[in-house]
Amino acid sequence: MKHFKTLSDYFEYMQLPKPEHPMFSVLWAKGNEFLPCPRPSSPPISNNCYSISLKKIIKGNINYGRTAYDFNNGALIFIAPRQILQWNSDVVFEQKGFSINFHEDFLIGTSLALQIKKYSFFSYTVNEALHLSPKEEEQMEIIVAQIHNEYHNNQDKFSKAIIIGLLDTLLTYANRFYERQFLHRQSISHNLLEQFMLHLDSYFESNQLAQKGIPSIEEMAQSLSVSQRYLSDTLKKSTGKTTREHLQLFLIDKAKNMLLNPTKSIAEVAYNLGFDYPQYFSRLFKKREGLSPSAYREKYRMN
């Protein structure tokens, strides 16, 4: 797999104009202009750059999670360094919008270097893009226009600080708009939670918990065709609980039923639920229920 260490090498591969700055580029199609056409397809590649792009689809199908969406309005896509990229010619994007690309070293010595790692949407997959309303799209393009002007107009010692500040503002707005998207798409959030629970039920009923152990959050996300961060963020926004909390609550719920069987020992219950150590199961159960598995079993017997 090809990996591009510099922005210039990446742009050369993408067949895009050479960036004016060795570590920063902004492409913006204003008015009747169009963005330059990148390479129409590519095998898996990676690079050391961040990318923020506003795209509109005009041909082909893209899913958001497992749901098809209309991309007539802009879709804002965030890509972090070393993410694996691959695309083919089936999907055609309108050559409008903007594309900001910058090497991770461009942020060295700035407050954004740490702050940008807190934006979980850089870990989402492309099919989990931010879908902007027309007003939100307009707000983003106002900021990009300022970045574009600063980038092309006689850069001086203040230019980088101004561009960093504008990038920070753009990402703050993106965070706000993602909050809105999670809020307005509750049906998708609930559907994702339902799929999550159904997959856990299937995993339990087929005895895979006992055979393979408790699945990781990453494995769960892959089974639902979403990124780990997107799954966690969606469930947290819609239910107030993290993915791990939902997984633990599922295990505790199953444990309660299994503990009612007097022929099963506490250790057997733990192993059947995928715990490597019964002591860990007992600690988690007590933390969640306020009493130990044996105390829970005894309490139920008394009732």
Task: Flag whether the pTM goes above 0.75.
Answer: no
Give mean pLDDT, residues 203-227: 87
**Which contacts of 10-15 are long-range, i.e. CB under 8 A and separated by 24 or more positions?**
10/47, 10/49, 10/101, 11/101, 13/39, 13/45, 14/38, 14/39, 15/39
CATH 2.60.40.1170 for domain 187-302, yes or no, is: no
Helices (H) and strands (E) in the chain, counts: 12, 10
The 3-state DSSP composition of the chain as helix, strand, coil percent (nearest 5) reads 55, 15, 30
Give mean pLDDT, residues 108-129: 79
- According to the model, what pLDDT value does residue 156 have? 82
Which range (54-63, 90-99, 148-157, 274-283) has the least confidence? 54-63
- According to the model, what pLDDT value does residue 49 have? 95
CATH 1.10.443 for domain 2-184, yes or no, is: no
- According to the model, what pLDDT value does residue 137 have? 86
- According to the model, what pLDDT value does residue 38 have? 81
Residue 70: DSSP 8-state: -
**Which helix (DSSP H) or strand (DSSP E) does residue 161 occupy?**
helix 159-184
**Residue where the block lists tokens 């192993």:** 271
The tokens describing 204, both together, are: 């339990």
Of 108 and 122, the structure prediction assigns the larger pLDDT to 108
Give mean pLDDT, residues 18-37: 87
- According to the model, what pLDDT value does residue 91 have? 54
Does pLDDT of 169 surpass 70? yes
State whether residue 203 is helix, strand or coil.
helix
Question: Domain segments of the chain: what residues?
Answer: 2-184, 187-302
For all residues of the chain together, what is the average pLDDT?
Answer: 83
Q: How far apart are the first and last CA of the chain?
A: 63
**Which helix (DSSP H) or strand (DSSP E) does residue 85 occupy?**
strand 85-87
- According to the model, what pLDDT value does residue 76 have? 83
Does pLDDT of 101 surpass 60? yes
| Per-residue pLDDT tens digits for 50-72 | 999 887 654 544 443 344 444 45
pLDDT tier, 191 (very low <50, low <70, confident <90, very high otherwise): confident
Instruction: Provide the pairing of β-strand 85-87 with 75-79.
Output: unpaired
In the chain, the percentage of residues whose pLDDT exceeds 70 is 85
- According to the model, what pLDDT value does residue 240 have? 79
For residues 180 and 135, the answer to whether their CB atoms sit within 8 Å is no
- According to the model, what pLDDT value does residue 14 have? 92
State whether residue 139 is helix, strand or coil.
helix
- According to the model, what pLDDT value does residue 186 have? 56
Of 188 and 264, the structure prediction assigns the larger pLDDT to 264
Nearest alpha carbon to residue 86 among 24, 44, 119, 23 = 44
Give mean pLDDT, residues 279-302: 87
Nearest alpha carbon to residue 10 among 28, 32, 25 = 25
